[in-house]
Structure 1
Amino acid sequence: MANTKLIPYLTFENTKNALEYYKRVFGATDVNRQPPTEKQADEMALNPDVDLDNLTFKASFKVLGQQVFCTDSFMGKPVVSSLISLMLEVDQRDSDAESDLEALFKQVAESEEVKVIMTFEKKSSGNKYGQVVDKYGITWIFNAVK
């Protein structure tokens, strides 16, 4: 299964706004967004008077070089769940990666647009670990492992 990937794919009520949030708070890069075409809107039975430019059929962004895909919820309002978390993990032997992870945690935590669950600091295991929940209810884990 060497060609298999597990890719985060998030659903938002308004992905267009979510992308702006992730750019501002998480420093998201490589942001791409594609509204549905008229044919796709018809296939999804969207109201004909809906403004397609405000909808997102598919989108993606990167945080610390890791790609996340996302879309609007076309099946009703998305439900927030604490069952899914996204973890950004680096090896402490890579001092640049560890510094980047720590800087991102600091940026995110200082934005005051997340709830800090655990500050990013060294734990008894020797790993550095921190955790936040963003405004969409998504838990982000920052983990620098020995």
Structure 2
Amino acid sequence: MAAAAIIPHLNIEGASQAIAFYVTAFGATELARMPANDGKRLLHAALTINGSTVFLHDDFPEHVFPGAVFGPPPRVGGVSVTLHLVVDDCDAWYDRAMKAGATMVMAPHDAFWGDRYAQIVDPFGHSWSFAHALAAKA
């Protein structure tokens, strides 16, 4: 696992299905999978996506402390973070994610700040964006 300053840790309803989606949509590589004692959920999993590590686990609402607003996007009513990927070809990453079942937020376009940029939501409610510098593809 590559060292990183920040590793996102996603709370997901259906972590095993999410891993399959990330492999198909983002070319993820599964590094580790730890099942929970109930045999149905994943306590922890680690992936690499585009050279970076991402952790994920199934939702365990029985272990959330009272008053916490923590859980998978469908349970908490959305997300406040977009996971951004700097990629070699924004359009290709976007197309692959859409074919795998993502929902379009913003189609690929030439953004005013100089990137080719797109944004999607995965089937589990997490927001992702893709970009490459326009000068890099010219």
How many residue pairs get aligned? The number is: 121
Instruction: Tell me how far apart the structure 2 counterparts of residues 16 and 125 of structure 1 sit (CA, whole Å).
Output: 37
Counterpart of 2:26 in structure 1 is: 26
User: 1:78 corresponds to which letter in structure 2?
Assistant: G
For structure 1, which runs of at least 5 residues remain unmatched after alignment?
42-49, 90-96
**1:27 to partner: Cα distance:** 2.2
Provide TM-score, normalisation by structure 1: 0.70
Q: How has the CA–CA distance of structure 1 residues 30 and 4 changed in structure 2, closer, same or farther, with 3 Å as cutoff?
A: closer
Alpha-carbon deviations, 1:51-78, whole Å to 9, x = none? x2x3211101122122110112222593
In structure 2, what is the equivalent of residue 115 of structure 1? 103
Equivalent residue letter for 1:133: V
User: Are the aligned partners of 2:11 and 2:72 in contact in 1 as well (CA < 8 Å)?
Assistant: no
Which one of 83, 87, 90 corresponds to residue 86 of structure 1? 83
Residue in 2 aligned with 1:98? 88
Superposed CA RMSD in Å reads: 2.4
Distance 2:111 2:4 in 1: 32
Structure 1 residues 35 and 103, CA gap change in structure 2 (3 angstroms): same
1:70 aligns with 2:56: yes
Q: What's the TM-score once normalised by structure 2's chain length?
A: 0.74
* Aligned-pair identity (%): 25
* Partner SS state of residue 83, structure 1: coil
Q: Which amino acid aligns with 2:52?
A: Q
